[in-house]
Chain A
Amino acid sequence: MDRTPAPRAAGVPVKEIAMIEVGQTAPDFELPDHLGRTLGPGRFRGRRHVMLLFYPLDFTPT
């Protein structure tokens, strides 16, 4: 399966990890959000694409 290179700032290496791959079906999940809702990708199925932005921690740089 082709892996699209990560869009990134110049000079930042892409780390290869065994992450979910293009072509796979995403696991469905629901989590609470900061505005009191409970949401997950399944809620938008058939209506919207979904971009998941995972990040390490709040209150940290980048």
Chain B
Amino acid sequence: MPAVERLLSRFRGAHTQVLGISVDSIYCHANWAASLGGISFPLLADFHPKGAVGQACGIYLEEAGIDDRATVILDAGGTVRHASSVTPAGKRDIDELAALCEEIDRAWSGELPEIPAPSGLDGPATLYVKSPCGFSQKALLARTNLHFEQAVTVRNVSEDPAARDELVARAGCDQAPCLVLGDRVIQESDEIVAHLASRGTDID
């Protein structure tokens, strides 16, 4: 997956949206993605009912209870242009897949809008978190997965009284997680993640 992440601008240039899929939950995905240094393209959870999408595509491995390591490329019209498996233990060649997407894009007869690069945040931001706190963790994982480590400073209000005072002064209360961008205050973890995702990915 990190190899795909490194080539995202190339896939973008080929008008191609990359979607990862496994039977793991979104919580597992978020932690794993962050452990890899951040994955910003969608990792979809084929979790409940387990493997339903894998089954629909004929790549679910019933006995093992997992999706195969398979690649399916659809053109913008929804027609399958490539389908392959390297088996669960195999390794995909991401460069070759990128070249394949470029080939499919060249063969596409219609006009496709350019995929814009992620816009990034409007300015420096601060993410106030507390610990232990699952909601704070969720916001922190999104920060990593969207590569906002530089743009978003983290301050822990349960470990640092000065950070708590700063949060109260800026947000009016000490609720955390809280993302503060200039005058804007975002307090719910889902909204924090949604804002970061809207600025850190190319999906509108």
Task: Give A contacts to B, CB under 8 Å.
Answer: 3-9, 12-15, 17-29, 31-37, 39-42, 44-59, 62
Contact = CB atoms under 8 A, between A and B. Distances in A.
Nearest to B85: A15
B83 A20 contact: yes
A20 B104 CA distance: 17
B118 to A, nearest CB: 12
Contacts of B1: 53, 55
A57 B90 contact: no
Interface of B: 1, 4, 11, 14-24, 26, 28-33, 35, 39-40, 42-47, 52-54, 56-59, 61, 64, 66-93, 95-97, 100-101, 104-105, 108, 112-113, 115, 141-142, 145-146, 190, 193-194, 196-197, 201, 203
A44 B17 contact: yes
Question: Most chain-A CB neighbours within 10 Å: which of B78, B85, B91, B93?
Answer: B78
Contact of A17 (B42, B74, B85, B97): B85
B4 A53 contact: yes
